[in-house]
Amino acid sequence: MNTRQVIDESVGPLSLSSTFNNDSSCFSVGLDTGFCDFNAGIGVVEMLGQSNYLAIVGGGRQPKFPQNKLVIWDDAKQKAVITLEFRTSVLGVRLTKSRIAVALLNSIHLFAFSNPPEKLSVFETSDNPLGLACLGQKLLMFPGRTVGQVQLVELETGNVSIIPAHTSPLRAMTLSPDGEVLATASEAGTLIRVFSTSNCTKTAELRRGVDHAVIFSLAISPSNNLLAVTSDKSTLHVFDLPHPRNPPHRSQSPSSPSEETNHKWGVLGKLPLLPRVFSDIYSFASAHFEIGDESPPGSLYLPPLGTSLGRLQKGIIGWSDDRTILVIGSGRGGRWEKFILGEGDDGKRYCVRDGWKRYLGGG
């Protein structure tokens, strides 16, 4: 395994949050010291592709803005161009060139990306302390009114569908780049469920493991064929992802040498009456990533009042291409790690860390 050495061991300010843009070509970081000319905390930051627009929300012990205010920042002009205020804290933001979706604890607010912004819709949700939402060119998805459900909204028609994804609260969700596949995980953290957005049917269940885990991030590859998952087990898992328009990877063929990797228990998975964990589909490759230590006492990010957020973001996934996965985390001395997918002479696929680097502290 080729693992680069860190360039600089010094540590920098505290990173409160981190997120990739839509094609994972860039990632943005909210700091307790802000960014650009800011000298106060930024708790949420979301990029619009490779444009100069960012959505920012105050955070930390000395927030730059009230946490119920969303600011659309034009980095080229170095000024705020849109400001939206709400009655409660802003927990998440999603952007496209035409729309802004804002997640509050119990609602999703949808606006036209215009100046002034036009409010298009408001949707009620179950408690959504993580600010979960997916916004594509044609679809908006978020937790439904009932725990574990996903509400799917067609943006052009306003049609609404309900997906009964889980029986426990949602922990993570992601939409494929083409908008045709949705993947979700619950607080249980054992199964990732996959749905077709065209008809809301479940197409697969993928097993991360048998014991409880906190899912950090889900992300689908540019080809829409692979799914990556991170959790507090400090493991990155990679799965084949069923897609309605793409043929399955050859490892899904019964004659494939990689079958035992996906079906972890081999021939046991074909025996009747055994528990389903023996027949479930597991990841074809996995690798260890660094979660990092929590920040020292007195430096922890203070979440908005009324939410259950308690820890800094870890293990956020971005695909730079179908063979390259990036994993970033927040905290003191934040870093990113690079992983490469490959295939051995025996036909089995693997995932190895190719290097890492600090994005804070001069690394």
pLDDT of residue 139: 98
Asked whether residue 6 is assigned to any structural domain, the reply reads: no
Based on the fold, state whether residues 33 and 121 are members of the same structural domain. yes
Based on the fold, state whether residues 194 and 340 are members of the same structural domain. yes
Based on the fold, state whether residues 222 and 324 are members of the same structural domain. yes
Helix (H, G, I), strand (E, B) or coil at 29: strand
Based on the fold, state whether residues 88 and 211 are members of the same structural domain. no
Cα four-point dihedral sign 10, 13, 16, 19: negative
Number of domains in the chain: 2
- Alpha carbon distance 87, 212 (integer Å): 35
188 membership: H or E segment, kind and range: none
pLDDT of residue 218: 98
Based on the fold, state whether residues 61 and 176 are members of the same structural domain. no
- pTM over 0.85? The answer is no
Per-residue pLDDT of the chain in tens (363 residues, 90 and over written 9): 444 544 334 445 677 777 887 888 787 777 766 555 566 667 788 888 878 898 988 877 777 788 899 999 998 898 899 999 999 999 999 999 999 999 999 999 999 999 999 999 999 999 999 999 999 999 999 999 999 999 999 999 999 999 999 999 999 999 999 999 999 999 999 999 999 999 999 999 999 998 999 999 999 999 999 999 999 999 999 999 987 776 555 444 333 333 434 555 444 445 454 445 445 789 999 999 988 655 444 444 444 433 334 456 789 999 999 999 999 987 676 789 999 999 999 989 999 999 998 877 654
Based on the fold, state whether residues 285 and 179 are members of the same structural domain. yes
Asked whether residue 159 is assigned to any structural domain, the reply reads: no
Q: Which domain holds residue 358?
A: 172-244+277-293+312-362
Based on the fold, state whether residues 126 and 188 are members of the same structural domain. no
CATH of the domain at 358: 2.130.10.10
How many residues are given for the chain? 363
Asked whether residue 322 is assigned to any structural domain, the reply reads: yes
The candidate with the shortest Cα–Cα distance to 325, out of 356, 294, 293, is 356
Asked whether residue 306 is assigned to any structural domain, the reply reads: no
Contacts of 245 (CB under 8 A, 6+ apart): 180
End residue of a domain, out of 80, 99, 130 = 130
261-282 b/e with 16+ CB inside 10 Å = b?
bbbbeeeebeeeeeeeeebbbb
Asked whether residue 26 is assigned to any structural domain, the reply reads: yes
Asked whether residue 135 is assigned to any structural domain, the reply reads: no
User: For the chain, how long is the longest CA-to-CA vector?
Assistant: 65
End residue of a domain, out of 70, 102, 130 = 130
Asked whether residue 318 is assigned to any structural domain, the reply reads: yes
End residue of a domain, out of 130, 158, 185 = 130
Based on the fold, state whether residues 282 and 358 are members of the same structural domain. yes
Give the alpha-carbon dihedral of 37, 23, 304, 361, to 10 degrees: -50
pLDDT of residue 257: 37
In the structure encoding, which two tokens stand for residue 176, read together? 């494929």
Based on the fold, state whether residues 92 and 223 are members of the same structural domain. no
93-113 b/e with 16+ CB inside 10 Å = b?
bbbbeebbbbbbbbbbbbbeb
Based on the fold, state whether residues 20 and 85 are members of the same structural domain. yes
Q: Are 55 and 93 in contact (CB under 8 A)?
A: yes
Based on the fold, state whether residues 176 and 66 are members of the same structural domain. no
Is the link from the previous residue into 116 a cis peptide, with omega within 30 of 0?
yes
pLDDT of residue 42: 73
- Alpha carbon distance 176, 226 (integer Å): 10
Based on the fold, state whether residues 109 and 202 are members of the same structural domain. no
Asked whether residue 141 is assigned to any structural domain, the reply reads: no
DSSP state of 259: H
126-154 b/e with 16+ CB inside 10 Å = b?
bebbbbbbbbbeebbbbbbeeebbbbbbe
